[in-house]
Chain A
Amino acid sequence: VDLAPVLDGFGVVLEPTNLLYCLIGVVVGMLVGVLPGLGPAATIAILLPITIGIEPVTAIIMLAGIFYGAQYGGTITSVLLRLPGEASSVVTVFDGHALARNGRAGTALGIAAVGSFIGGTVSIVALSFVAPLVAGFALDFGPPEYTALALLGILLVATVSSGDRLKAVIAACLGLLLATVGRDSFTGAERFTFDNLSLADGLDFVPIAMGLFGLGEILYNLEERHRAVHAPAKVANVWPSGADLRQSSGAIGRGSVLGFFLGILPGGGATLASLAAYAVEKRRSKTPERFGRGAVEGVAAPESANNAAATSSFIPLLTLGIPANATMAVIFGALLIQGVSPGPQLVDQEPELFWGVVNSMYIGNILLLIMSIPLVGLFVKILRVRATILAPITVLITLVGVYTVNYDVFDIGLVVVFGALGYLMKKLGFDPGPLVLAFVLGSLLEDSLRRSLLLFDGDPTGFLTRPISGTLFVLFLVVAVLPAIQAVLHRRRASRRPAQSTAENKELV
């Protein structure tokens, strides 16, 4: 490994501007992590316009800070109020809140902060070694490989993501369709533009992300009004004891490793990692009955895992140009706005950006560890702000923000339309994540598909003749067909069982 660019990256991070934006990012991340409802994807989408005026490195450092900062913040409300601020902190509620009820809220928060820090840091170190390798490998990728990769990415996000698989696939298809709007880059033909000049260059990513994630989530949260109001929580003794740390060290280690690997997977990410880490700890434990009643491992494992996963999910984005989850899709959009196209060439061509962002995560994690332990009380105060005050301000920032991107009123209309779409999707149980992801990957997919067909003289079997794209397509088929096979097997087993039971009955008679 060539160390010089890594060290140069630290030089980039330590520039005062970058340090400041890193701090802003993690503080904002922590705040949105604390607030239930507003997730990191929504926040990053809403803040996209303010990144336009600043340097690419600085912008991505801040946005990355929001993402991993939110993983810390989500813990706080899970532990203190039984109110997960983030989807990735849902499992922390079980043991975290149980500990708080036993008067050990401080222990839970302290362990979570230490676990998050270790998980995050382990993941950054692993990322520093793995990412250049993956990028080096991916440098040989041609259009056919990218076609396969984009297809596999969209499919995995649709199938692995929580919720209804069919609905996720429908959302992804809608995203792909939206990506086709605009002038065809090969022939110049206009598609779905309805002779509208604003649509001629295609739909912009920013208003779509801001509408679906930002406005959609705000509208959806306003509906949930009759939620219980909690008393302000008291926090004392935030430092975990040596015994607690020893007890949870194994859980932190396993959570970090598991989180790192699940984060790389498309569709994996922080939520899946925290669930898996909790399940693993519970299964491994000699005393599984303690889980749910205040086991420190039950806090340590998911919190280490979600931070490790948040960090490692940057690998597919920064090395392949394929976002692994909804938040990464928004950061992908931010990079495109900055004129940086993420891909395997990023490590070599933009080492300052790559290593600047990666190394900023060390600083960010240290800042979060420092902030999260003594300043918990301060962050919890934001929960006293009523939605009727918060929502209009957020909507205003969103609408003004999107206007400043192109100074085009059409974009405001787009945000409103996609906000309504996002609200309806959430209400009907559709996750907007696969839609945004498919939209982002749509142009890449179409571009590389058509390039490869030109390469193969229009023969689609050509995809299977190249080793990497062939493997990826086989993988794609396996992932696509597996659920159907499982369903058939399941049905057959279910139909065989009543037959068996009647046979047993006959024997008894």
Chain B
Amino acid sequence: VTVLVAYVPTPEGDAAFAAAVEEAGRRGGRLVLLNTPREGAPVSAAMADEDAVRALVERAAAAGVGVEVHQEAHTGDVADEVVRVAGAVDAEMIVIGLRKRSPVGKLLMGSTAQRILLDADRPVLAVKP
């Protein structure tokens, strides 16, 4: 059994990670951590550094959950990448973090979370910090 968490180094990402560890523990499965920056720039704020990833892996290990880390860069839309990787690792569930947005903000900004919710062909757990 595999649970996929789409991780970014923000409070939302941390909330998603905590929920994903809990979910993977309950199902007795492993966790796939997807932290994928967009390709094209030398540096991306979406990328978690080595120390942060190590801390996350240790946190999951303390809860008895094994973690597989994916940090390759993606092209195009990150939502497509999340759905693609979920299919590739045959995840039973995708866990994502949600930002707090007003309806107007939603209308203007669009949302990666919304696209994942619409496009995914498997259950999606959306967590708020």
Q: A residues within 8 Å of B by Cβ?
A: 36, 77, 81, 83, 225-233, 380, 383-388
Bound CA–CA A383/B41 (angstroms): 6
**Inter-chain contact B47/A229, CB cutoff 8 Å:** yes
Beta-carbon nearest neighbor of B42 in chain A: A383
Q: What is the bound-complex CA distance between A229 and B42, given in angstroms?
A: 5
Interface size on B, residues (CB 8 A): 16
Tell which of B10-18, B32-40, B84-92 binds the partner: B32-40
A227 partner residues in chain B, CB cutoff 8 A: 42
Q: Which of B10-67 contact A (CB under 8 A)?
A: 37-45, 47-50, 52
Docked Cα-Cα span, A383 to B44, in Å, equals 8
Q: Which residue of A lies closest to B47 (CB)?
A: A231
Among B43, B44, B45, which residue has the most Cβ atoms of chain A within 10 A? Answer: B43
Q: How far is the CB of B47 from chain A (nearest CB, A)?
A: 4
> Closest B-chain residue to A34, C-beta based?
B42
Question: B residues within 8 A CB of A230?
Answer: 42-44, 47
Other 15 A-B pairs with CB < 8 A, given A228-B73, A384-B41: A77-B42, A225-B39, A226-B39, A227-B42, A229-B38, A229-B39, A229-B73, A231-B47, A232-B45, A232-B47, A383-B41, A383-B42, A386-B38, A387-B41, A388-B40
Of the candidates A36, A226, A388, which one forms a contact with B42 in the assembled complex, judged by CB atoms under 8 Å apart?
A36
9 interchain residue pairs of minimum CB distance: A231-B49, A386-B40, A383-B43, A231-B47, A229-B37, A386-B41, A383-B42, A229-B73, A229-B44
Inter-subunit contact B42/A83 (CB<8 Å): yes
B118 to A: closest C-beta gap in Å: 26
A81 — which chain B residues lie within 8 A by C-beta?
42-43
Bound-state CA distance A231–B39 (Å) is 12
Chain A's closest residue to B48 (CB) is A231
CB distance from A78 to the nearest CB of B (A): 12
User: Can you give 15 A-B contacts (C-beta < 8 A)?
Assistant: A77-B42, A81-B43, A229-B39, A229-B43, A230-B43, A230-B47, A231-B52, A232-B44, A232-B45, A233-B43, A384-B43, A385-B41, A386-B41, A387-B40, A388-B40
Distance, CA A228 to CA B47, complexed state (A): 11
Chain B residues near A229 (CB-CB < 8 A): 37-39, 41-44, 47, 73
Chain A residues near B73: list those with CB within 8 A: 226, 228-229
Residues of B within 8 A of A386 (CB): 38, 40-41
Which single member of A77, A225, A233, A380 contacts B40 (CB below 8 Å)? A225
Q: From residue A209, how far is it (CB to closest CB) to chain B in Å?
A: 26
Shortest distance in angstroms between B111's beta carbon and chain A's nearest beta carbon?
Answer: 21
Nearest B residue to A80 via CB reads B43
Chain A residue with minimal CB distance to B45?
Answer: A232
Instruction: Check B40–A384 contact: CB distance below 8 A.
Output: no
A384→B37 CA distance, assembly (Å): 11
B37 to chain A, nearest CB (A): 4
A226 CA / B37 CA spacing, docked (Å): 12
Closest to B44 in A: A229
Identify which of B9, B40, B50, B52 gathers the most chain A CB atoms within 10 Å of its CB: B40
Residue numbers in A under 8 Å from B47 (CB-CB): 229-232
Q: Are B44 and A384 in contact (CB under 8 A)?
A: yes
Nearest A residue to B49, CB-CB? A231
Residues from chain A with a CB closer than 8 A to the CB of B37 are 229
The interface residues of chain A lying within 8 Å CB-to-CB of B41 are: 229, 383-387
Q: What is the minimal beta-carbon distance from A341 to any residue of chain B, in angstroms?
A: 40
**How many whole Å from A93's CB to the nearest CB in chain B?**
14
Bound-state CA distance A385–B43 (Å) is: 8
Q: How far is the CA of A387 from the CA of B42 in the complex (A)?
A: 9
Which partner residue on chain A sits nearest B50 by CB separation?
A: A231
CB distance from B18 to the nearest CB of A (A): 21
CA distance A380 to B39 in the complex (A): 17
The distance from the CB of B7 to the nearest CB of chain A, in whole angstroms, is 12
Specify which chain B residues have a CB less than 8 angstroms from the CB of A380 in the assembled complex.
43
Q: How far is the CA of A225 from the CA of B9 in the complex (A)?
A: 24
